[in-house]
Amino acid sequence: MDTVVDLPDPSKALDLAVIRFQLIRLEDTIIFHLIERVQFPLNRTIYEPGAIPIGQNEHDNDDLSFMDWYLKEQERLQSLIRRYEAPDEYPFFPAALQKPLLKPIDYPKILHPNTVNANAEIKRFYIEEFLPGVCAHRTERGEAAEELRVHGHGRHRLPPGHLAPHPLRQVRRRVQVPVRPGPLHPPHPGPGAAREKAQAYGTDPSASDKGTGGDPLTKINVDAVVSMYKDFVIPLTKVVEVDYLMQRLEQK
């Protein structure tokens, strides 16, 4: 949860201005991570369960893709420093979480108990729809080893999660922000803001290469980013909000 929120004061955590600020921060983070991710080709082997040997003979690794295993082990490690104690963190592999080594933080009880979780839909969209539309594709055999080598060279430039977890985590947080009683959802930047940011963040101002329209070439398909927000993130946010409110009504 962002440090700008006064956690002991639930009223500030639910203030619409604060929530909107969080959404803008998350939008920036998502777009930056996506720009970095699309610099690498899409290797479908990374996302196919069982395609890369990662100890599938162990019961808890059955049917895991390399990305799933990588994400699971990251969540296992980060749970030790109480990352998933925060109320806005939703692990993809809750069974992998460990008891934190640090003392717990007394977070305020903001949301009513609920089981709303959009992780599966977020991961499906990211792997099956977004990445194939924005990344170059590898076709040669043995591409898994090559992709790992490429990512290894990139580790000094990118956070370890560039295989997928960082964009996934931030989109997950984006669609599961706290719901404030009153308006159905807080005001948030629309697809137009996402277009402007993707265009600005993905353009090298010193580059001399120009596109067909004479504009500087961008590092990411801007239309794909806009479509992601317009057709997936914003609609899914509303579904999460409605599901939460419905569960809240059922509890009364």
**What is the C-alpha to C-alpha distance for residues 175 and 234, in angstroms, rounded to an integer?**
7
Q: Which tokens go with 114? A: 């609920």
Contacts of 241 (CB under 8 A, 6+ apart): 179, 184, 185
Using alpha carbons only, what angle is made at residue 123 by residues 117 and 129, rounded to the nearest 5 degrees? 130
Whole-prediction pTM:
0.75
Q: Is 137 helix (H, G, I), strand (E, B) or coil?
A: strand
pLDDT in tens, the chain (252 residues): 444 455 556 777 777 888 788 888 888 988 998 998 888 888 888 889 888 887 655 555 567 888 888 888 899 999 999 999 988 889 999 999 999 999 988 888 888 888 999 999 999 999 999 999 988 876 544 444 444 444 444 333 333 333 444 555 555 555 555 444 444 444 555 678 889 998 998 888 776 666 555 556 788 999 999 999 999 988 998 899 899 899 988 876
Note the pLDDT of residue 124. 94
Residue 222 and residue 199 in contact, taking contact as beta carbons nearer than 8 Å: yes
10-175 fold: Chorismate Mutase, subunit A (1.10.590)
Residue whose tokens read 């076709």: 139
- As a 3-state breakdown, the chain gives helix, strand, coil percent values, each rounded to 5, of 55, 0, 45
**What is the C-alpha to C-alpha distance for residues 235 and 199, in angstroms, rounded to an integer?**
23
Note the pLDDT of residue 11. 73
Note the pLDDT of residue 7. 56
Residue whose tokens read 């706290």: 178
Note the pLDDT of residue 189. 57
Q: What residue type is 209 in one-letter code?
A: D
Residue whose tokens read 């089981």: 115
Contacts of 140 (CB under 8 A, 6+ apart): 146
